[in-house]
Structure 1
């Protein structure tokens, strides 16, 4: 999966797009047709395929299970996947390839607590990296991608028929959902339907010590499970490796502002909390220290593993820095791994300013799902 391309794209693209507000794209796709949706409720697709998963504890491999959609969930989820497309050009086509892997690893489990909706959109591709780096104005490419997301969201609202909804995104997906909240939700009827927004992997800015302001005018950060109409946002960094000044993720560009951090396992709190994690064990992306040996008992018996307490996280806000600090809990004699991945590799190096971007969704995924359960109640 090419999720590692997202930060490089976003860093170059952000500078190009931020120069002025994007112009509304008038040629957005129409989402009345089911074939433009990667996931829809009640259909056999990327979000309904059972995910074979094994529990991994300090004692080694445990029970096996399969994640399946819920029969009648009370809320709907709208998911925008991160940068995964390696299509030619600055925008992807609508043929589904890498997008399936993103949906399976990041979103499919949410179908156990909400009806899943995931549009196929013409996202900015890896090819936009070079274009932005060479100074090309990529605002038109951003307009195409965001125009599709907005069009899909409007179609989604028609399909929900007033039901409460949750927004879910990561990286480029979170970037589009930030703009969607500002343009289509804040101060509009949809705000009453939005139960929760889960948008990690892209900086949400707030004034230091505040819960709202900056990126959003009226949508606050979440401080308690079950709170409605709020945002869960964070960017991940390994412990003892905070974002350096000017980092792409985790460092606000102006004094007086900080990057929002809401710990999915401990909303409103600052201390360490054990995370409920889901890991895809077949990734081929580089990991510091080499490939992970997940257990002394050998190769994982299923593509996905669930760990509870292998990783802990805590929110840190220090001036312009704001991030979710992750640490691995090593226990002498334990049969599970003492390492996890998440750093972004490029040219044989791991980029310090991008933190553990690839672990944003995996490390607290079980906790994120429980937050959706809480607002559904």
Structure 2
């Protein structure tokens, strides 16, 4: 009996100590992956460039807890806790722009690495729940540490993508759904993973009391989507937006129009990591529009895309339409058919840019939810 107890104890992952600052990729008030330059250039459909006015908001009255997607290039199945270009670059691109509307907290965690994921895809062996046990234990420990040391009753948003979203979905299920802390959650933003709901309903399935968000002032809800080009819907072997067997479907919320229907999207891209690696984030200017260099790392392209949540069979996803004739080289670099894989790898769709194609919309949604939460308090 003692031997069995020791064996079970050894199987439980021991998380890092998140009281140590080095185990955080981003924390407010310090120089780190989320504190760099977030100036953006607006590129209009005809290629004209306008410097985006600096957003001037009061000190953020909400927090964002961000868990980055699969990005580590460590050669081991699980990453270490030393930030590499992958973790730093992804946080700089996805998480840093949120600091205008929230304090950003992003833990390092021992994730399933890109080499391990590629090996899994090559061999056909899907990742199991056991593969994610250590990553989840880390994220849960970091969230509990954040609540104990930093939250002080403030509203918070959970933001993930892909592996990060899968871990945060489990966190909502186990730590938030139906519990008192749900009242403080503005939303859980979980693109690139399937949050299952009964067909035609916004609550039930994976989450028992946390519904899909259907208004910009609704709080305590989930924003989730998997994005595919409207002309390339998910194939039968699609990796995202699928429910599998049963009466459930993958939920979908369009951050630009949570209530449903088509809406113009407001993309904000930090750097094209899908075109040659995350080390590009260290370059100060990497975009062009109609042949002219864009002078900022971030580029914003209102009018380039529109999107609408649709359900087709077992798939629920954000169908993305590209405006024809817009700044052509920028289209080619961001949502061109040879860029993000929806032609060569239709099962992936627009997965790698799930957040980027709606990032400004998501930022404004968080601002609206924060204002609504404080108005009701």
User: TM-score, normalization: structure 2?
Assistant: 0.85
Q: Residues 138, 258 of structure 1: CA spacing in aligned structure 2 closer, same or farther, 3 A cutoff?
A: closer
Q: Which runs of 5+ in 1 are unaligned?
A: 1-22, 287-291
Q: 2:99 is matched with which residue?
A: 111
Once structures 1 and 2 are overlaid, which stretch shifts more, 294-303 or 310-319?
294-303
SS of aligned partner of 2:356:
coil
1:265 aligned onto 2:252: no
Change (3 A) 1:309 1:274: same
1:218 to 209, 225, 233: 209
**Paired residue secondary structure (1:49):** coil
The equivalent of 1:57 in structure 2 is 44
> What aligned pairs does 1:134-173 form with structure 2 within 5 A after superposition?
139-158=129-148, 159-173=150-164
Match of 1:6 in 2: none
Pairing 1:1-377 to 2, within 5 Å after superposition: 25-65=12-52, 72-97=59-84, 98-129=86-117, 130=119, 133=123, 139-158=129-148, 159-270=150-261, 272-283=262-273, 285=275, 294-331=288-325, 337-339=330-332, 340-341=334-335, 350-377=344-371
> 1:76: Cα distance to partner?
0.5
1:351 and 1:326 mapped to 2: Cα distance?
Answer: 16
Cα distance between partner residues in 2 of 1:128 and 1:84: 11
Contact between 1:344 and 1:356, CA under 8 Å: does it hold in 2? no
- CA distance in 2: counterparts of 1:204 and 1:342, whole angstroms: 28
Matches of 1:109 and 1:317, distance apart in 2? 30
CA shift for structure 1 position 140: 4.4
Q: Give me the whole-angstrom Cα distance separating, in 1, the residues matched to 2:186 and 2:140.
A: 18
With over 3 angstroms needed to count, the CA separation of the structure-2 counterparts of 1:48 and 1:357, relative to structure 1, is same
Structure number with the higher helix fraction is 2
Q: CA deviation at 1:256?
A: 2.1
CA contact (8 A) 1:54 1:63 kept: yes
Question: What's the CA shift for 1:298?
Answer: 2.1
Cα deviation, 1:211-254, whole Å, max 9, x if unaligned, reads: 01112111100000010100000000001111112421122201
SS of corresponding position for 2:43: strand
CA offsets per residue over residues 243-280 of structure 1, 9 Å max, x none? 1124211222014221111001111112x211111123
Deviation at 1:209, TM superposition (A): 0.4
Q: CA deviation at 1:66?
A: 8.1
Any idea what the Cα deviations from partners look like across 1:117-139, whole Å, max 9, x if unmatched? 00000111123232683759865
1:289 alignment partner in structure 2: none
Deviations 1:32-78 (A, max 9, x none): 11111111111111111112321101342423358789651110010
Relative to 1, partners in 2 of residues 1:53 and 1:240: Cα closer, same or farther, differing over 3 Å? same
Specify whether residues 87 and 69 from structure 1 end up closer, same or farther in structure 2 by C-alpha distance, changes over 3 A only: farther
Q: 1:240 to 1:185 in 2, by over 3 A?
A: same
Change (3 A) 1:328 1:128: same
- CA, structure 1 residues 263+173, in 2 after alignment: closer, same or farther (shift >3 Å)? same
When normalised by structure 1's length, the TM-score is: 0.85
